[in-house]
Amino acid sequence: MTATDQTDLPPSDPPDPEADGMRPPGTFAHTLAMWLGAAISILHIYLNTLGTMSDLWFAALHFGTLGFLCALLYPVRRATSPSARNLTLGIDIILGVLALSTAAYLMLMEEALYDRGITFIATDWIFSVLAVLLVLEFVRRTTGWTIPILIMLAMGYTAGLGIYMPGVFQFPGLSAEIIFYRSYFGSDGMFGQIARISYSYVFMFILFGAFLLRSGGGDFMINLSRCATGRLIGGPGFVAVLGSSLMGSITGSATANVVSTGTITIPMMKRAGFRPKTAAGIETAASTGGQLMPPIMGAGVFIMASYTQISYLYIIGVALLPAILYFMSVAFWVRIEAMRLRITGADLDAPSLALVMRQGGHTVIPITVLITLLVQGFTPTYAAGYSILAVIAASWISPNHRMGPRAIVEALSTGARNATATAVLLIGIGIVVNMIGTTSIGSTFSLMISAWSGGNLLIAIILVALASLILGMGLPVTAAYIVLATLSAPALFEMITHGDLIAAFADGTISQQAQSVAMLVRPDLADALGQPMPYDQAAALVAEIPAEMLSQVRQSSLDPAMLTTALLSAHMIIYWLSQDSNVTPPVCITAFAAAAIAKTPAMATGVTSWKIAKGLYFIPILFAFTPFLAGDIPVALVIFFWGLIGIYALSGAIAGYLEGPVNWFLRPVLLVVGGCLIAPLAWSIKSVAAAVFIAIFIYSRILWNRETAELEAEGKDALTAF
């Protein structure tokens, strides 16, 4: 490659797992962690593809091995002197060995415990308490104190503190033996459903991402974005949007996205003329979309698939258009800022498509293999495993990124190290979810949302958004989604299907089972059931059916496809809203990472990021009130089209700018127009709203042209005077 080519293709490093609080490279512990990480990855690949280990044992081994790795990577405390560092390392190695011992004990003593009739002996107490304490400590090291405190509160509530709670939240308490059995030996605790998702789907896709980045995928995504959009007006901003969407499809992590793409795009945007705060905000908002963009979408999508029993392939299929809509909402802001600031500079050094494909086109092959295998019916775990092999094979097509033994070991190690924090987090959150299920507090919370919202779905979404914001101040995105989905998804699901159920009663299309239940509630309507009835009468009848019976009526009377769409919509609403912790002050880690690169005030950057990432709040409304996720492509495209115009209108209202300035009295008009285009209204209303938007859009452009002419005239006058 020539010197010119090297200039055209600036390197971009893969997301660096090193961060504050981790042991630096070059130390003995870090070197040991590198080789241990590679061994852990090989073990996980084998057990996920060829092994026959039980789910409980594999989950325990997952915790033991990655717990040991966590102890090596994240020291118990910072130490400056050599003696203190050696002491800290000694403590951490002991804790790592203890983590392995908890896995070994469960595997050796599980059958003996069952033979005793699930009665604890002294060693059961020791290792179950030790396992819980270790997961608390490892989560504290990787994510801070919030989740350990949440775990302790959940266990305390289940152990007896619940008796002091008011009203419906009272819980009499369980014995410590039952609590620790369910947390350690039980199939729904630390090593339950969420841990199984962690060791299979999440680990394998994180490992796939590490291989893809090691083979040059990061460079390819950035340079392809530069090639596609860099020469446009405001091009560096569009590079950030497109680059982050492509990178997000690999990493599934907003912060990793900022670290990998922001180091290139933020300086590019600043040089082009974007204000530093705006550049950091654009990158933050775009990187947040990484967990919304298929095919990986972060750890949360695998948990969603498990919770809903909807296939991963279906979820990523219907999630594509909403993700594109989100990135377009960020792109609209880039365009608005480019016009406002009159940024005409483009990335004139953007590489050619031929050069980009020659250097990194091999990256497309493993992604194609992954999608093809998923379509062919392979499980995500197997698809990821074969795709890793495809990465290695495809890398030899590239002249610069061929993966030999050293590169493979590095990718194996990087994958395990990147998965460590997520693994211990999910295992710890498993305890919280188990306690929520044990105490039925999730059902109580759902009923509370229904009561507070008065059955109004929009108000319920606002309540969930507020809860998400509060949880996001202390929980990572995945943890916030898990907790919120456990607590509030049932309420949203019931509200989304409520209108359809009333319509079924009104149309007389309810099942025989539903008719039997309705007869118990209203015997006087026996002759009217199964026949068309007034909508108001049907609504009153549904309102009288007890909540415990309503679920059976809903399941038997509504179309299964409709129920699947409603369930997925409820979870997708929560998943999208849980992303707001990346961009919403006062705690928005992704925005803070971008602020560090842009050298801007962290909190001001967070506010700007929040304004730009408004799609996180608007698009879930489409999930709730339209069949956007029903899998009907023509219908989804129509919803996408109206949503695209609506979000552009809302962007203009918020920014006070489109192609030119928007007068103050037109901003409320744009708000109404945007709302009409997003809301499930008649085509005639949407068409009028779109026409109004186009008129305001054209008018703003006229104002911009007028300002441009005035500025040019002023420039000529100044030159003449000189």
Q: For 486-497, what is the mean pLDDT?
A: 91
Per-residue pLDDT at 27: 80
Mean pLDDT throughout 688-715? 89
580 vs 573: CA distance, rounded Å: 12
| Confidence class for position 722, pLDDT limits 50, 70, 90 | very low
High-pLDDT (> 90) share of the chain, %: 46
| Predicted local confidence at residue 548, as pLDDT | 78
The closest alpha carbon to 243, from 267, 226, 268, belongs to 226
Q: In whole angstroms, how far apart are CA 315 and each of 282, 386, 507? A: 27, 21, 31
Q: Is the pLDDT of residue 428 over 90?
A: yes
Q: Look at residue 15 in the predicted model and tell me its pLDDT.
A: 40
| SS3 assignment, position 27 | coil
Question: How many CB atoms sit inside 10 A of residue 416's CB?
Answer: 30
Residues whose CB falls within 8 Å of the CB of residue 361, separated by 6 or more in sequence, listed in order: 220, 397
Percent of the chain with pLDDT over 70: 94
pLDDT tier at 254, thresholds 50, 70, 90: confident
**Helix, strand or coil, per DSSP, at residue 188:** coil
| pLDDT value of residue 7 | 31
Instruction: For residue 657, list its beta bridge partners.
Output: 661
Average pLDDT score over residue span 236-243: 84
Q: Mind listing the pLDDT tens digit for each residue in 360-408?
A: 888 899 989 998 998 888 888 999 999 999 999 999 988 788 899 999 9
Q: Tell which wins on pLDDT, 673 or 249.
A: 673
Residue 588: pLDDT band (50, 70, 90) is: confident
60 vs 450, more confident: 60
pLDDT for 11 beyond 70: no
pLDDT of 564 reads 94
For residue 651, the model assigns a pLDDT of 92
pLDDT band for 18, please (50, 70, 90 cuts). Answer: very low
In the numeric block, the tokens 């109404």 are attached to 672
In order of 184, 187, 194, 281, 649, the CA distances from 54 in angstroms are 15, 11, 15, 46, 53
The residue extents of the domains of the chain are 28-182, 196-425, 440-582, 632-722
User: What is the structure's pLDDT at 636?
Assistant: 95
Of residues 252 and 83, more confidence is placed in 83
Question: What secondary structure letter does DSSP report for 352?
Answer: P
* CA 256 vs CA 210, 213, 602, 634, 672: distances in Å: 11, 12, 18, 34, 37
Q: Residue 646: pLDDT above 80?
A: yes
344 confidence band (pLDDT: 50, 70, 90): low
**Banded pLDDT at 16 (limits 50, 70, 90):** very low
Average pLDDT over residues 8-12: 36
Give residue for tokens 């690999």: 250
Mean pLDDT on 326-346: 86
Burial tier of 232 (Cβ tally within 10 Å: 0-12, 13-18, 19+)? middle
With cut-offs at 50, 70 and 90, classify the pLDDT of residue 715.
low
The confidence score (pLDDT) of residue 716 equals 58
Closest CA to 155 of 141, 142, 139, 171: 171
| Alpha-carbon span 310 to 572, nearest angstrom | 12
CA distance linking residue 230 with residue 631, whole number of Å? 33
pLDDT of 9 reads 35
Of 353, 303, 62, whose CA–CA distance to 193 is shortest? 303
Residue 17, pLDDT > 60, answer no
Q: Is the pLDDT of residue 191 over 90?
A: yes
Query: Tell me, what's the pLDDT at 8?
Result: 36
Residue 713 pLDDT class (50, 70, 90 cuts): confident
**pLDDT surpasses 60 at 20:** no
Q: Which has the higher per-residue pLDDT, 469 or 660?
A: 660
List CB contacts of 51: < 8 A, sequence separation 6 or more.
58
For residue 459, the model assigns a pLDDT of 93
pLDDT per position as a tens digit, 266-306: 888 888 888 999 999 999 999 888 889 888 887 888 899 99
78 vs 92, higher pLDDT: 92
Nearest to 428 by CA among 155, 151, 157, 176: 151
pLDDT given at position 1: 34
- Most distant pair of Cα atoms in the chain: their distance: 100
Q: What is the pLDDT of residue 424?
A: 94
What pLDDT was estimated at residue 408?
A: 95
pLDDT for residue 14 is more than 50: no
> What 3-state DSSP class applies to 24?
coil
Could you tell me which residues are beta bridge partners of residue 661?
657
Are the beta carbons of 491 and 572 closer than 8 angstroms? Answer: no
Q: What is the mean pLDDT of the chain?
A: 87
The pLDDT of 540-555, averaged and rounded, is 86
Contacts 24+ apart (CB under 8 A), 665-674: 666/696, 666/699, 669/696, 670/696, 673/646, 673/649, 674/618, 674/646, 674/647, 674/648, 674/649, 674/650
Residue range 86-97: mean pLDDT, rounded:
93
Q: Is the pLDDT at 346 greater than 80, yes or no? A: no
Q: Among 392-396, 438-442, 575-579, where is mean pLDDT lowest?
A: 438-442
In the predicted model, is pLDDT for residue 78 greater than 50?
yes
| DSSP character at residue 16 | P
